[in-house]
Amino acid sequence: MINPTPIASLISAGLVIFILLSQTELWQRKEYRLDRLLSWLNSPTGQRLSLAWGLGLGSLIFAAWLFFFFEQSLNISRLFAWLVIIALTAYHFYRLKKRGLFRPKFTTKAQLIIAVASALIILNFLIFFTSFHLITLRWATLLWSLPLLVAISVIAVNIPADIRKRQIFTQAATHRRKFPDLKVVGITGSYGKTSTKHFALQLIPQAIGTPDHHNSRLGVAQDVLKSLNKKTKIYIAEAGAYTIGEVAEIAAIIQPQIAVITAIGNQHLELFGSQASILKTKWELIKALPPDGIAILNADSPLLSKQKTKNKTITYSTQKPADIYASDIIVKPTSLTCTLHLFSDQQAVSIPLAGAGSLSCALAAAACAYALGLESSTIFSRVQNLKAFPHTMEIKPGRNRSTIIDDSYSANEAGALAAINHLKTFPPVDQRVVLKPLLELGSAAPAAHEKIGQALGQTRAKIFLTETDYLKDIQTGLKSSGYQANPIVITNPQELARAASQNLSNQTVVLLEGRLQDVVRLSFTND
């Protein structure tokens, strides 16, 4: 008769590796922040997993130990333990088949977390696995508790990391003060920050800016230490945040003379709790301005248009007259034309950007350039040569002469709706949308996805979704627009790439919306 204990140990050892890698990847994706992880646990996917893993399997393990301690029924305890191991094996095999292997980028921090978690696992072995008695149940208990062990490891690594971060913040602020003549532009907002910075750097070629994906306190501080020197004349810094106080900390480092707020939306609403908190956080950049500082505000954002500041203010708009605005706007598939107004100056311009959202960011960048003293004629000239930020409403050729609207850098409700609306400017012969549902919208998520469904329904495009999250809300919106077909949900990136990129032709237009994996994006292009 085969002894099942070694089999259980072999399977469990493999599961330990899978779970350790996937949990580390999850924490890394959430920037090792507890608030972002808790927000994910509140999402439909997080709720399903925590319910199945925490309550379902946890109840089995708890019952197994009860039978062992109080009834001395070893067979039932072993049976429950095997059910847990089998359930976890089936889940991870299914997940591997549907979504591929989840593993982190092996940065120094990720390696440290894996090392600490491995040490805790070894310690667990030394304490609880000294006897082979009920080893199957001990394995099951270890597997169930692995997410907690990884969380403890993250906390342990974060403690010295946070101390080091504070030192870097102080060093960066001290370094910034060495350059009193430096002009600094700070850009924040719920969305549009990166494109605004990207366009501003094109309009002001003598300026330097924070690198892509570096808008956190640590990222900005590290760049200040690395990039600022006596030759730097203008520095443009993007300021991101998930909670109140984080923009203020970035502002204390960069000490801006010009502050831009691009919009107040519902991005990361789950973390902030309310749009009032989002506004308060973004407004920290305005409060950091010196008395002669300049605030640049989007007049199209309702909450911003109501705010008052003691600083000189420049407003911009794509919808109505402002200090800087666009009128007579004509949106074409790959460009737009308008009359650009810079205070009392105006000129008809053609801008090689896609969508009204891109125009708003271009106007914000023009406001930055104007505030820094550039002549209107220079701005009019340079704005007509702007290039889109990669993967942000970037129109590019696909395979078989198809057209790709790559909007996969980030995702928010306003941006997704604008991108879907822009799809309507293309011939409706063979339109496809590959969409990753939005994250961290909290209570606003169902309504936001219903609006996205309504917009999708008006395009009659073939719709591919990467997740089942908010599927019912999207379907409700689709049906309200008269769209009858159901979206195609494919969670495995490779399978999604194959299905969505079949039979591309010169009549195919594909919108890639949301943070899609590279394997999906690259399946449509000749890269």
Summarised one tens digit per residue, pLDDT across range 447-469 is 999 999 999 999 989 999 998 88
Q: Please choose, from the candidates 250, 254, 258, 245, the residue with its C-alpha nearest in 3D space to the C-alpha of residue 290.
A: 258
Alpha helices in 269-385 (DSSP H): 269-272, 275-287, 302-305, 356-371, 376-383
Contact 471, 489 (CB under 8 A): yes
At residue 235, does pLDDT exceed 50? yes
Domain end point (choices 383, 418, 449): 383
CB 195 within 8 A of CB 386: no
Q: In the prediction, which pLDDT does 266 show? A: 74
CATH number at residue 471: 3.90.190.20
Based on the fold, state whether residues 125 and 256 are members of the same structural domain: no
Picking from 159, 192, 207, the residue at the C-terminal end of a domain is 159
Displacement of CA 214 from its chain's centroid (Å): 13
For the cut 60, the answer to whether the pLDDT of residue 238 exceeds it is yes
Residues 152 and 181 in one domain: no
Domain identity same for 350 and 414? no
* Residue 202 belongs to domain with CATH number: 3.40.1190.10
Read off the pLDDT of each residue in 428-442 and give the average, rounded to a whole number. Answer: 89
SS3 of 48, please? Answer: helix
Q: How many residues does the chain have?
A: 527
pLDDT for position 2: 43
Q: Reply yes or no on whether the pLDDT at 308 is more than 70.
A: yes
Assigned domain for 388 exists: no
- Same domain for 211 and 70: no
Judgement on whether residues 433 and 481 belong to the same structural domain of the protein: yes
Helices 413-423 and 356-371, packing angle to 10 deg = 120
Residue 87 tokens read as 């359930």
Same domain, 95 and 241: no
Q: How much is the pLDDT for 67?
A: 83
Last residue of one domain, picked from the residues 383, 416, 444: 383
Residues 335 and 311 grouped into a single domain: yes
Convert the pLDDT of each residue in 12-67 to its tens digit: 889 999 999 999 999 999 999 998 888 888 888 788 877 777 788 888 888 888 88
Same domain, 115 and 186: no
How many domains is the chain built from? 3
Instruction: Supply the pLDDT for residue 10.
Output: 87
CA distance 218 to 278: 20
Please tell me what DSSP assigns to residue 388.
Answer: P
Whether residue 416 is found in the same domain as residue 316: no
Mean pLDDT of the 418-438 span: 93
pTM of the entire predicted model? 0.87
Tell whether 378 and 454 lie within a shared domain: no
Tell me: pLDDT of 4 over 60: no
Task: Tell me the per-residue pLDDT of 66-118, one tens digit each, with 9 for 90 and over.
Answer: 887 776 677 888 888 889 999 999 988 888 877 778 899 999 999 999 999 99
Would you give the distance in Å from CA 16 to the centre of its chain? 28
**Confidence (pLDDT) at 66:** 85
Residue 15 half-sphere exposure toward CB, CA atoms < 13 A:
26
Within a domain: residue 193? yes
* pLDDT above 70: residue 145: yes
The reply to whether 527 falls in a domain is no
Q: Is residue 171 part of a domain?
A: no
* Residue-range definition of the domain harbouring residue 461: 394-522
pLDDT at 1 over 60: no
In this structure, the answer to whether residues 105 and 149 fall within a common structural domain is yes
In the predicted model, is pLDDT for residue 169 greater than 70?
A: yes
**Is the residue at 168 inside a domain?**
no
Residue 469 CA to its chain's centroid (Å):
16
Q: Give the pLDDT score at 100.
A: 76
